[in-house]
Structure 1
Amino acid sequence: MSKPKAVVIYSGGMDSFTLLNRVIHDGYDVYALTFNYGQKHVKEVEVASTVCKQLNVPHKILDISPINQLMQSSSLVGSIDVPEGHYQADNMKSTMVPNRNMILLSLAIGYAVDIEASKVYYGAHSGDHVIYPDCRPEFVHAMNDVAKIANYEPISIETPYLNATKGEILKDGLSMNLTYEHTWTCYNGRQKACGKCSACVERLEAFADNNATDPVEYE
C-alpha cells in the first residue's frame, strides 16, 4: 500500500527541519518545497537542498525572488538593517515580510493538488504569534478553510507545532535523534550566524532549554 503524499514547506530552518523529519517519521511520502523570495538569509535554501539530498526527499526550490520588489518594508528582503534583540521587542516588526505565508501556502496548495497530495505542512509555532500575524492560529484556521474550497480537491493545512515553543520543537527533534548542523536560522546572510538577531536569540534559548549544544557556528 502506497504512503499518503504530503507537501512540506521547508525553509531550511530548525523548525521546518524538525517538521520535515516528523512528517517522514509519521509515515508520509514527503515532497519538500523551498522558496527563494529574495531573503537575505538565502543560505537557508542551500542547507535545505543538502538535507533533502541526504534524506532522498523530492525537493523543489522555487525562485520567486522578483516579488521582493513589493516587500521592501521588510528588513529580511529590503535595505533596512536586520534588528537585534528578542521577538518580543517592537522593532522586530520590521522582520515581517508582507503576506509571505499566504503567498507561500497558496503555491504549496497548488503543488499539492498537482501531485495529488492531501496535506500541506508548515512550521508555524507559538513563538511567532506575537510578531507574525500569518503564524497565528486564526490565520491558519482561515487559510485551512480556504484550502478546502479553492480547488476540486480539498487540501488540509497542517501545523503540528502551532501551539509549541521553539524549545518544544527542538525537544521533539532530539527525541528523533536529529542533529541540527545542516539548518540555518540567522536572519543575516553571512558565513556564520550572528547570534544577535531575534531568530538566533530564540534558537539559542531553545538549545539552552534542552541542555543541548547548537552545532552551528556563531560570530
Structure 2
Amino acid sequence: MAYWLADQGSELLLVSFDYGQRHRIELDHARRIAETLNARHEIVDLTSVGRLLTGSALTDANVPVPDGHYTDVSMRSTVVPNRNALMLDVAVGAAVAAGADAVALGIHAGDHPIYPDCRPAFLDAYARLAKVANEGFLVAGFRVLAPFLRSSKADIVRTAAALGVPFELTWSCYKGGPTHCGVCGTCTERREAFDLAGVPDPTIYVGAEDAEVSQ
C-alpha cells in the first residue's frame, strides 16, 4: 500500500502499531520499508490496550496460531477485537494534525468472511465517522482509502511486483519467530498468493523444503 501511495505522488507518513502482537518483528520490517521510500515512520505504543484484547492468537500466548489454510473457525482465533478501528482513530488524528488529505489502510477481500473491520460496510461507516468526529478540521475532500478492499492476495502480489516492492522486506508470519514459519495460515496464504500470481517468492521459510502449500 505504501508503494502504491508513493506511486500516486503522495507524501507519506507511515504509522505502525505495537499492540502486543506476538509477531512484533513486523514493526522492524515496516521500518525498513519506510526507509526504502525515504518516508517518515512512527510506531505507536498500544501495548497497554493490547493487554485487554485477550482471546486472540495474535495477542494471547494461550491461544495457538492456526496452521494451514484458514477455515472460518481457525481464522476467528486471529481476530483482535476492534483493531482496525483503534488504529484508524490514531491515524486519522495524526492526519488531522498534519493537515493530510487522506488516511489509507491495507484491508483486502480475503479478510471479508471473518474480520468485520475489513469489510466494505466497516470502511463506509468509519469514513462517515471520521468526517463527523473531525468536522471543521479536515482538509477539503478528506478520504479514508482502502485501495485493495476488493483485491485478493494474488492480485496484491501482482500489483506490488509492478510497483517494484521489495518483497524480501515484507512480513506476513503470525508466529513471531525470526523467519517465516512457512506453515501458519498467513504463511500458507502468502506462499499461495505468489504461486497464483506467477511471481517468484523470495521469502525464506523455516524448513522450506518440507513445507508445501496445501491444495
Tell me the TM-score normalised to structure 2 length: 0.90
Q: Which amino acid aligns with 1:40?
A: R
Question: Which residue is equivalent to 1:157?
Answer: 144
Question: Which residue is equivalent to 1:133?
Answer: 116
Q: Which of 108, 121, 127 is the aligned partner of 2:104?
A: 121
Deviations 1:98-146 (A, max 9, x none): 1100000000000000000010000010001012110001001100111
Q: Percent identity?
A: 38
Task: Tell me the number of residue pairs that the alignment of Structure 1 and Structure 2 aligns.
Answer: 201
Unaligned 5+ runs, structure 1: 1-18
Which stretches of structure 1, 4 residues or longer, exceed 6 Å deviation after superposition? none
Question: Which residue is equivalent to 2:205?
Answer: 218
Provide the rounded CA distance (Å) in 1 between the counterparts of 2:16 and 2:51. 19
Q: Which has the larger radius of gyration?
A: 2
Q: Which of 30, 33, 38 is the aligned partner of 1:56?
A: 38
Asked if the contact 1:88–1:130 (Cα under 8 Å) also holds between the matched residues in 2, the reply is no
Q: Which of 184, 196, 199 is the aligned partner of 2:186?
A: 199
Deviations 1:72-94 (A, max 9, x none): 11110102111112233412201
Asked if the contact 1:87–1:130 (Cα under 8 Å) also holds between the matched residues in 2, the reply is no
Provide the rounded CA distance (Å) in 2 between the counterparts of 1:107 and 1:187. 23
Question: Which residue is equivalent to 2:131?
Answer: 148
Pairing of 1:17-96 with structure 2 (within 5 A) = 19-79=1-61, 80-96=63-79
Residue 177 of structure 1 and its aligned partner are, at CA, apart by 2.4
Q: Matched residue of 1:44: which SS?
A: helix
More moved, 106-115 vs 81-90 = 81-90
Residue 54 of structure 1 and its aligned partner are, at CA, apart by 2.3
Q: Which amino acid aligns with 1:65?
A: T
Unaligned 5+ runs, structure 2: 207-215
Pairing of 1:96-111 with structure 2 (within 5 A) = 96-111=79-94
Tell me the TM-score normalised to structure 1 length: 0.89
